[in-house]
């Protein structure tokens, strides 16, 4: 039996109470099913050279955490990962800036991850690397002699070559991706964008008829693996949370008003400024809603050390203050804007309470909140999802009310349509989306990726067997 080894920048230890984000939920789902090892940064920065990984075992999963040096963290994580790759991959050139020291630190941390991971590897391991922080890790593992199947999954969008070419070492980045055996993307768009890079670098003949990529004597499987949610758990969490204190008090405080909910990390890619202005437009255009709808926006702070995140935070404080100042009354506030985390179950209860879920990123790999909103609804009386057509989730959730998040006037009009949608249409749209979510849930996502790695393993064993017999 092979063992699954997942590697991600940050790992979430079970003893920590922080709610895991999208990536962590996916990794945990894969590891809990099969057992295995999760390797990554434990969240501590140190001044001295980091030592060996700390190991913790819980429920058949071994957690191996390494520390990062403070300066490395600043350059690699806040710098290269979040001020170069994140904005570039989300098509936000305005927020991107390139710095060679940060690029070096990115390489150093990836090299260090490979060095610390190597002694923990076993001969039958399948290795699955997650996300843009760790693209070069596969190359370092290969250089150290690792021959086991290596997979990489990108949780965020992949940019078309015309955008990617802005990055000075774009060719190295593409070459690094070809060190893996399986490269996974959220959507067909991302896969096609990857092909555009491969074609640019290696020529169209590198892409075979079956979609695999041939570089030298290596064949790489590039495929789409859309991440999903745990539908049954989300449904149960949402139902149970309806009787929790937080959700009941929120519900009572509405005094019968309709509720719109948004849940996003505070990030410029999530389109919150545009969403706030769409809401303002909606209140101006449809004044009959003034005093009759509450918009609850939960947006926990993230990456607060990065300038673009400080700016977006200020912009949102101003925008929410402006709308509240203009429209609020002594007994009503149009926007409740909260910068804090909640337990996952509470969030699901809040989503279930909503008449409208609003998910309008300017660009998003997938967006799990959109899927969680659908899974959390009461199927007999479901809320309406307004979803950006620039989120990966729009591909599967085509029965949502799809909007262009930049078109704030259209988003406002769509909100009006959502609030007045009749029950039969709400049910029909919800049922179609729920069916899609059940078909492709989080377990299907991790199973499909691990199966792709197993196929690589089986194919290589056959090659070895033939080699031994001649």
Catalytic residues: 155, 364
CB of 29 to ligand ADQ, least distance (A): 11
- Which of 227/335 has CB closer to ligand ADQ? 227
Non-local (6+) Cβ contacts of 71 within 8 A are 105
43: left (phi over 0), alpha (psi -120 to 50) or beta: left
CA distance 26 to 438: 15
Q: Scanning the structure block, which residue is given the tokens 């209140």?
A: 283
Task: Count CB neighbours of 245 within 10 A.
Answer: 9
CB of 87 to ligand ADQ, least distance (A): 13
CA distance 64 to 383: 41
- From 102, 125, 176, 364, residue interacting with ligand ADQ (rule: CB under 6 A): 364
- Which of 140/342 has CB closer to ligand ADQ? 342
CB of 12 to ligand ADQ, least distance (A): 11
Helix, strand, or coil here: 290? Answer: coil
Q: Scanning the structure block, which residue is given the tokens 């300017």?
A: 362
Of 311-319, 367-375, 377-385, 405-413, which segment contacts ligand ADQ by CB under 6 A? 367-375
For residues 119 to 158, the per-residue mask of contacts with ligand ADQ, x marking binding by CB under 6 A and - elsewhere, is ------------------------------------xx--
Of 14-22, 66-74, 104-112, 455-463, which segment contacts ligand ADQ by CB under 6 A? 14-22
CA distance 461 to 352: 49
- Which of 148/270 has CB closer to ligand ADQ? 270
CA distance 392 to 363: 8
- Which of 357/365 has CB closer to ligand ADQ? 365
133's tokens:
């922080």
For residues 218 to 257, the per-residue mask of contacts with ligand ADQ, x marking binding by CB under 6 A and - elsewhere, is ---------x------------------------------
Taking alpha carbons only, the member of 35, 38, 39, 24 closest to residue 59 is: 35
Q: Does 40 bind ligand ADQ (CB under 6 A)?
A: no
DSSP state of 20: P
Q: Name the residues that contact ligand ADQ, by CB under 6 A.
A: 19, 21-23, 25, 155-156, 227, 263, 265, 298, 300, 341-342, 344, 347, 364-369, 372
């Amino acid at each position: 039996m092979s063992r699954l080894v997942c590697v991600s920048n940050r790992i979430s230890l079970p003893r920590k109470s922080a709610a895991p984000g999208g990536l962590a939920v996916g990794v945990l789902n894969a590891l809990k099913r099969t057992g295995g090892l999760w390797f990554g940064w434990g969240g501590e920065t140190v001044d001295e050279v980091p030592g060996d990984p700390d190991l913790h075992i819980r429920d058949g999963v071994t957690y191996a955490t390494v520390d990062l040096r403070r300066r490395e963290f600043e350059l690699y994580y806040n710098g290269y990962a979040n001020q170069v790759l994140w904005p570039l991959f989300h098509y936000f050139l305005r927020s991107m800036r390139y710095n060679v020291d940060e690029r070096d630190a990115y390489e150093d941390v990836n090299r260090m991850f490979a060095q610390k991971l190597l002694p923990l590897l076993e001969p039958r391991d399948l290795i699955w690397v997650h996300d843009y922080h760790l693209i070069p890790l596969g190359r370092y593992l290969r250089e150290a002699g690792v021959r086991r199947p290596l997979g990489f999954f990108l949780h965020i969008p992949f940019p078309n070559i015309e955008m990617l070419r802005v990055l000075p070492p774009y060719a190295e980045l593409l070459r690094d991706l070809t060190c893996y055996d399986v490269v996974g993307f959220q959507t067909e768009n991302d896969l096609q964008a990857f092909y555009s890079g491969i074609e640019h670098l290696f020529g169209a003949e590198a892409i075979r008829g079956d979609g695999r990529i041939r570089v030298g004597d290596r064949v790489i499987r590039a495929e789409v693996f859309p991440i999903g949610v745990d539908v049954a758990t989300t449904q149960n969490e949402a139902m149970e949370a309806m009787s929790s204190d937080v959700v009941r008090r929120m519900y009572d405080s509405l005094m019968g008003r309709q509720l719109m909910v948004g849940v996003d990390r505070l990030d410029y890619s999530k389109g919150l400024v545009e969403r706030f202005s769409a809401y303002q437009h909606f209140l101006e255009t449809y004044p009959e809603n003034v005093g009759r709808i509450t918009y609850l926006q939960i947006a926990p702070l993230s990456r607060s050390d990065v300038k673009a995140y400080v700016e977006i935070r200020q912009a949102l404080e101003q925008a929410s203050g402006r709308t509240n100042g203009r429209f609020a009354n002594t007994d009503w506030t149009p926007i409740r804007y909260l910068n804090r985390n909640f337990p996952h179950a509470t969030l699901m209860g809040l989503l279930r309470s909503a008449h409208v879920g609003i998910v309008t990123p300017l660009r998003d790999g997938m967006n799990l909140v959109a899927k969680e909103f659908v899974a959390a609804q009461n199927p007999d009386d479901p809320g309406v999802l307004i979803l950006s057509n620039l989120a990966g989730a729009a591909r599967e959730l085509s029965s949502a009310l799809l909007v262009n998040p930049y078109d704030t006037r259209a988003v406002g009009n769509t909100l009006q349509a959502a609030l007045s949608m009749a029950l039969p249409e709400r049910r029909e749209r919800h049922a179609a989306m729920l069916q899609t979510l059940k078909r492709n849930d989080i377990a299907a996502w991790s199973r499909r990726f691990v199966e792709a790695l197993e196929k690589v393993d089986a194919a290589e064993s056959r090659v070895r067997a033939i080699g031994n017999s001649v």
